[in-house]
Each structure stands twice: as C-alpha cells, then as structure tokens.
Structure 1
C-alpha cells in the first residue's frame, strides 16, 4: 500500500476535474500566435510609415513640380476629406458591388468546372483546347464587344471581371482535386461511401486550401479589372471613374491621387480579409503554412 502511495506522489498528480490543467498549455499555444499576429501588424505598419516618409521626402525635396506630383501630405489630407463626401460612398459601392458580384460568380463557375475537369480526364481533354484559347485573352480587349452587347453598366463589368478572374480558381480547383491522395478516397469507399459522398466529404475538403489560394489570386485580379474598366470608361462611376473625372474633367490632381490611395487601401483590405479566412479555416494545410 505504501509503495503505491509513493508512486502516486512521485508521479504527476492527476488533473483536477473541470479541465483546469490544460489552460496554461492553451495559453502557451495562444501566446506565440498572438505574437506572430502583432509582429505581422507591426512590420506592415512600419513598412507603410517608411514608404510614406520616402514619398513625402521625394515630393517635397526631390520633385517640385506639384502640378503633376503634389506633396504627399496634401494628398493624405484630401484622402481623409473624401470620407465626408456622399458621392465618394456611392462611387465606392459601385466598385465593391462589381467586385463582389464578379468574384462570387467566378468562384462558383471556376470551382464547378475545376472539380469536373479534375474528376473526369475525358472532360478536361475535350475542353482543354478551348480553355487554353480563351485564357490568354485580356479582359480589356473585350471591352468594345461587351459595350455593344451589354452597355456600360454593372452587367458588363461583372462579365469581364468573371472572365478575367475565373482561370486561377478553375486551375487551382482542378489541381487541388487531382492532388487528393487516392488511398484516402479508396479508404472512404471501403467505409461504404458512394461516389458523390466521397467527393463531398473527402475530395472537396482536401482541395479547399488550394481552391482558396486561387480565390485570393482572382480577388486581386478582379479588383484591378473593375477599377481599370471604370478608369477607361470614364464618367463618375466607381473609384476608377473618380480618378478619371478628377484628372481629366476637374483637373484636380489631389483628388486623383487620393482616389488612387482608395484603390490601394481597398485591395489591401480584401487581401487581409481573405488571408484571415485562410488562416482561420485552413491552418491545417501545408499550402497555408508555406504561404
């Protein structure tokens, strides 16, 4: 009896009820994660501040033609004033609406076709020539045709955004499906899962990290295409329209550069949001850890 008692005292004491002992370990796990988050934020903000300081120095000391390149501090002041103008929010929503609609439709089409091509070699081979023929065509080259057919509204921008951004999602979905371990699928079948159940419960979850990487790439492309279309079409529609109107119509250089900053901030926020989703839901993936 004493031997048993000694061994109990020598060994680790049993964890108290209620799960109190794992808390320090959980705190230790959260600690490095929080440090990495703050490190990323600090480095990002530091880089932005250094960039702003360099641009301020260039526009103040090295380049004095402020009719074409104004002082950066004045541009920032004009950028802040945009948030007090109702027209700015209308233009911003035009860009965001076209971007969101385009990327959602491109994701649905790209994932559907990519999964289909990844599962069926015959379908992929029969469609490969058409895909490789269409993929290199720039979306901006289709603007005249799209204007004739659909006009210059939201529909035209959405179609061109889908055309430009669907390819990265399609091919990432295709390769994501093909890279699923065949042994994993065979094991699922041995447990009695049918073909569609294997696709839904094994193939798609395994391919999701690569698909999401394609969505991140396509989101950047989508935003660039939307703003480029608005810039080329002119008018006052969207952030690109703000740039075109400020420079050509009003000759307001400060407004033009402040709208360019809006475009950059919008792209940064989109990338941060998509990266946060990736870290939250796909942290287990080697693709996410390596990225």
Structure 2
C-alpha cells in the first residue's frame, strides 16, 4: 500500500467527458422543453397588440407547455367568435335603425311646416347622431381602428372636420405655425377634431372657437364657464354637465378614446375665462421628414 502509484489520468478524463456529455444532454433536453415557450410568447405578444386573426396554435405535444398553448388558442378562438358576433349584431342593429329614420325624414319633407314637424325632425336627427356616434365607438372598440392608418396633412384633416361640423367660418379662427404630416386613421381623427369643434362652438358664450396648431399640441380655446367636474368625468360615456342636457354625453368620450388609440393625451385647463383643451404628445403621430 505504501508503494508509489501514478495518477490514473485516463480514468479522470473519462469521468470528465461523461460529466460534460451529461451536462450537454441536459441543456439540449431543457432547451427543447422550453422552446415552445418562445413560440407561445410570440402569440401572446400578438394578443397584446390585438392581432387576433394572426394568432396560431403552437401546441405540438402533450406536455404542460403544450397544454397551456392549446388552452390559450382555444380561448382566442372563443374571443374571435364573440367579437364577430358582437360586431355583426351592432352593425345590423344600426343598419335596421337607420332605415326607419331615413324613411321618417323623407316623410317629414312631405308635411307642412309646423311645430310638430320641427319636433319630429329634431328627434330623428338626434337619433341619427346617436347611431353615428355608436358606430364610431364600435369601430374603435372592435380593434379595427387603424385599418386605414396613412399619411395625411394636418390641414386636410382640419378642413374635413370643419366641413363635417358644418359651422360657419366666422365662428372658427385657426392659427397654425407650420404645416406637417401625421400618420392617423383619417375618419377617426377627423371625428375627434369635429367633436371638439362642435363642443367648442356650442358651449362658448360667444359661439366662437380658436384653434391653435403646432407640432407640440393642438389647442381648442373658447370663452365660457369652467367645467364643473374633472376632465376624467366627462371622458366617460353618457356623462353630462349642467349645461349639456341636450347632449348624449359621448362627445369627449369618443374624442378621448380615439386619442388614446393614437397614443395622444387629452388635457384641459381653464385660464382667464377661457376653456383650453389640448391634444398632447403629437410626436407619436407626426411623420418626420
């Protein structure tokens, strides 16, 4: 036992090689097991971006990760069906409601002018406005908000909003430092500006609205009473102020929802007897040269 014995280098090398091979095999096994998580994460990212139609079934086995992926895909399928059913229902309801309203307005044109005709005409017009606002809300919440997101000049959007609002030029003053291009959904963003013009003229003491446009913000200024509640109160659906009894309470709600969809913030300030509504964070939509 006391005799000299050299180290057994061959045995040590064999043990080292075996240990390294085991570690490599474990790494490959773990990587293979966790690989479906990467594919599942891509599908979850699509869900976060509201791209439901592009989500695929990535389950390829019976392990726990595959079961989670399969359950996630089945949930997405159900959400698609619910969205399609909701959109189909709302669009059919709005279509069915517009038909009798249109017929009613045509019939009214055949009647003699009197106070009853005026009342009925006002009722039909209010119903038509309500349906159009519901249509805008449906488009935003259905995930189809940016189907037509393209490059537009801010002046073209403003001109279209003024035309839809049907206000006289004498009621609106526009100040712009420089023209620029934005990437927005033309119909939705025009609707947002149109609602701000309607509210600005309607609730101004002088029925006059000033619009200031720059690359930092768009400001809608009118002289009138200060809002009784915070801006967050008026950006909720069907909320009205003390002087908004003839309104549905959807104007600022639609504006705020459209702006949030474009990553723009709506702010309010009251200064020197003037209401100031701002579209902030325009850098998120401005196209740089």
**TM-score normalized with structure 1 length:** 0.28
Structure of higher RCO (CA pairs closer than 8 Å, 6+ residues apart): 1
**TM-score normalized with structure 2 length:** 0.28
